[in-house]
Amino acid sequence: MLPRERTEELEEKNLAPGACRSARTRGRERAEKADDLRTEFQRDRDRIIHAKSFRRLKHKTQVFFSPSGDHYRVRLTHTLEVSQIARTIARALALNEDLAEAISLGHDLGHTPFGHIGEDALSDALGRPFQHSLQSLRVVDYLEYEGRGLNLTFEVRDGIANHTWTMPKPATKEAEVVRLSDRIAYLNHDLDDAIRAGLVSPDDVPSGVLEKLGRSHSRRIATLVSEVVSASSESSSVRMGSEISSAMDELREFMFARVYLHPAARAEQGRAAHVIKSLFDYFLEHFEELPAEYRQAPGDEGTRVADYVAGMTDRYAVTVYEGKFVPRYHVG
């Protein structure tokens, strides 16, 4: 028996009835021969990890632009924290951990430089909503591997596209796990970073949140993860109970009021939006300067320019902007 077949056999035997078995995947757009060692979802995970867009996440903003400390989160560390939380929940619920991991690792590949302000700036430039979840799908479908895409399974693609709460409910329980894990991760690690940055103190967090979720970063995550496992074990869907869910909503409201919309956090956002909009306008006018894989991607010119700008890291966006718009003076 091949190693892949042993894993598939274990999945059939040990996973919960509602879990997604890799041997029963709805497949890939382009059929491929099965791998001897890895299941289909393990192959997807590996393809994402080796993708250029995954490596670029280490230089993309989470909340703070170019933080001076070494311990602030960036988009890559956020992705790894989502993956860790999702794998823990999936394992506890006897769901497919490999599928949850693959979705987690791919969910933010389409995120813009400068965090959500870049997403808003591209929406303004395009004259329509730019959604990083759908852009992540576009990255794995069309932009990676010099335009050939990663040819991922339906289940991973669905989970990536529908990981945000503004999108339809995803097709698998594993993707539902990732959707909750994403929110658990960003609310708690963004709070941790905000405390480190001095924007808020631990005592500023609403007392109801502290009482229900915990007074430390690790305790809050443990409470939320345990709640998902407990509530979902008695349900046909992945969920939280109302009391803990309400506490997480209260934490989210606090984060928007005191951190995400804080003047210190927004101080550079006007400049960041200007950089994104200027780059978009420049490359729309000079479309021939786009790399070939972007020029050849499907969609109108605005969509393909957005592909290129969204794929930039923070520092590369600034470097390109300075090269196009900042005069250079020569002495002598």
pLDDT digits (tens, 9 = 90+) for 270-285: 888 999 999 999 999 9
Rounded distance, CA 155 to CA 148, Å?
Answer: 19
At 227, which amino acid appears? E
pTM of the model: 0.95
What was the pLDDT predicted at 202? 94
At 281, which amino acid appears? D
Measure Cα distances from 85 to 15, 128, 255, 261, 313 in Å: 18, 33, 20, 26, 25
8 Å CB contact between 215 and 208: no
E strands, 176-225, where? none
Rounded distance, CA 188 to CA 174, Å?
Answer: 21
Q: Which of 141, 183, 145, 143 is nearest to 160 (CA)?
A: 141
Q: What is the largest CA-CA distance in the chain?
A: 77
Kindly report the backbone phi and psi dihedral angles of residue 144, in degrees, each rounded to the nearest multiple of 5, phi listed first.
Answer: -75, 160
**pLDDT range class, residue 268, cuts 50, 70, 90:** confident
Rounded distance, CA 139 to CA 307, Å?
Answer: 8
What was the pLDDT predicted at 64? 57
Note the pLDDT tens digit of each residue in 155-214.
999 999 999 999 999 999 999 999 999 999 999 999 998 898 888 999 999 999 999 999
Note the pLDDT tens digit of each residue in 60-107.
987 655 555 555 788 999 999 999 999 999 999 999 999 999 999 999
Name the CATH architecture for the domain at 3-268: Orthogonal Bundle (1.10)
Q: Helix (H) and strand (E) counts for the chain? A: 17, 0
Share of residues in the chain with pLDDT > 90 (%) = 84
What was the pLDDT predicted at 56? 96
Rounded distance, CA 100 to CA 84, Å?
Answer: 10
Per-domain boundaries in the chain: 3-268
What was the pLDDT predicted at 69? 55
Task: Judge whether residue 115 has pLDDT over 90.
Answer: no
What was the pLDDT predicted at 198? 87
- Dihedral of CA atoms 223, 227, 228, 232 in degrees, nearest 10, equals 170
Task: Judge whether residue 300 has pLDDT over 90.
Answer: yes
Scan for tokens 């090269």, then name that residue.
323
What was the pLDDT predicted at 262? 73
Among the ranges given (51-55, 260-264, 283-287), the one the predictor scored with the smallest mean pLDDT: 260-264
What was the pLDDT predicted at 330? 60
What was the pLDDT predicted at 328? 73
Residue 59: burial class (beta carbons within 10 Å; 0-12, 13-18, 19+): middle
